[in-house]
Chains A and B, each alone.
Chain A
Amino acid sequence: MIATQIAFFVLAVASTASAIGVIAFKNAVYSALSLILTLLFLAMFYLQLGAMFIAIVQILIYAGAIMVLFLFVVTMLAPEAGGTEEQDRMPWQRIVGSVLGLTLVGALSYLIFTGTIASGTKADPANSLSAMVAKQGDIQAFGLALFHGFLFPFEVTSLLIVVAILGALIFGRRA
């Protein structure tokens, strides 16, 4: 298992660094690229956890489609947006935010380390994911879970997408 642990730590450091890069770069394009990197590292995390489909979907959709969209807008607005970071009216905001962030992470860590998982939440072995995967393979297991248990939310998300398209159309019209 030592390889797993090393891999985890490397991924952890890398994703943290790129996440910090997202928020730290002055240039928006650099931020976007850092975000893509972070997403890729997260996909590797998913792979390590055995969520194959999700990992691929992450790369395809998130890093591939969503971030491209972001980059479109960033590059469209970038020349004008670049000059906005001159005068910060509320410099204290950064400090307060950092302090709050540190508090948050500290409290969450405390909770994570001292908390216990309730007993009944582990799924019974017959229906468990690993069993399904072993029987029918990853994608099929994922598909079965989606379309048997989560069909309704799946349909609703299609509605959500329609709404989003409409919203984009409306906002996109000229005046």
Chain B
Amino acid sequence: MPLSAYLIMSAILFTIGSIGVLARRNPLIIFMSIELMLNAVNLAFVAFSSFLDSADGQMFVFIVLTVAAAEVVVGLAIIVSIFRTRRNIDVDEMNVLRG
């Protein structure tokens, strides 16, 4: 398959992830959408690595994977602590910083 097919695939997944971030109110699902976006980017990296015949793309994916893991850990911890204080995790209720 040509490179552009994989890139289009990556674009589609990225877009679906971003729509998910905008349209859902449950922070867990928002988080999952973010993971989806990260994975779309990973796909693009691996596609380039394959087509440019270089290992750099896979290295990036490796790093991204690690970062995603760390991010998930901290993010979920935040969500849990918010839930502990507020008993509610609807993001629309977290509007204390409104101007």
Q: Do A and B bind each other?
A: yes
| Chain A residues at the B interface, C-beta cutoff of 8 Å | 4-5, 8, 12, 15-16, 19-20, 22-23, 28, 31-32, 35, 38-39, 42, 45-46, 48-51, 53-54, 57-58, 61-62, 65-66, 69-70, 73-74, 76-77, 80-81, 84-85, 88-90, 93-94, 96-98, 100-102, 104-105, 108-109, 112-113, 117, 121-123, 125, 128-130, 132, 141-142, 145-146, 149-150, 153, 157, 160-161, 163-165, 167-168, 171-172
CA distance A36 to B93 in the complex (A): 28
A-B contact count (CB 8 A): 229
Q: A146-B59, A164-B71, A172-B81 are in contact. List 18 more A-B contacts (CB 8 A).
A: A8-B1, A16-B12, A38-B13, A49-B6, A66-B68, A70-B28, A77-B80, A80-B89, A88-B25, A104-B14, A109-B11, A123-B54, A129-B49, A129-B55, A142-B55, A142-B58, A145-B56, A168-B74
Partner of B23, one of A16, A35, A54, A93: A93
Residues of B within 8 A of A88 (CB): 25
A114 to B90, CA, bound (A): 42
Contact B55 A145 (CB under 8 A): yes
Return chain B residues, CB-CB under 8 Å to A39. 39
| Per-residue interface assignment for chain B, residues 42 to 54, with 1 indicating a CB less than 8 Å from any chain A CB and 0 otherwise | 1100110111111
CB distance from A145 to the nearest CB of B (A): 4
Most chain A beta-carbon neighbours within 10 Å: one of B19, B31, B71:
B19
